[in-house]
Amino acid sequence: MSFAGAVVNVRGVVQGVGFRWWCVRKAKEFGVNGYTANLYDGSVEVAIEGDRGLIEGFVEVLKVGPTYAKVTDIKILWYDKPKGYKDFTIEYKD
């Protein structure tokens, strides 16, 4: 396994369309850990850790999103030191 981590910022119509719950399901399908959260600017943040190939596949589905989402932009920040996520959860940002 080739470890990788990424924080992905997803923009477009991504809040109020079930994006975070969809992310949880997809993360479990891909076998990656991390979290997803709505941000105040209307975007969604997705932090992912696991095998780089699995993360790359997950990012590809993030570019499409669930049925009612309309993703217009994605920014990815890669990192290589594990943060130790044990599951994939929904977080609430203050």
**Active-site hit among 11, 33, 38, 52:** 38
38 is catalytic: yes
Which residues span the domain enclosing 32?
Answer: 3-90
Q: How many folded domains does the chain comprise? A: 1
List the chain pLDDT tens, one digit each, 94 residues.
Answer: 689 999 999 999 999 999 999 999 999 999 999 999 999 999 999 999 999 999 999 999 999 999 999 999 999 999 999 999 999 999 998 6
**Active-site hit among 20, 25, 33, 52:** 20
Q: Which two tokens stand for residue 90?
A: 């929904």
Give Rg (Cα) of the chain.
Answer: 12
* Three-class HEC string of the chain: CCEEEEEEEEEEECCCCCHHHHHHHHHHHHCCEEEEEECCCCCEEEEEEEEHHHHHHHHHHHCCCCCCCEEEEEEEEEECCCCCCCCEEECCCC
Q: Indicate which CATH number applies to the domain containing 38.
A: 3.30.70.100
pTM beyond 0.85, yes or no: yes
33 is catalytic: no
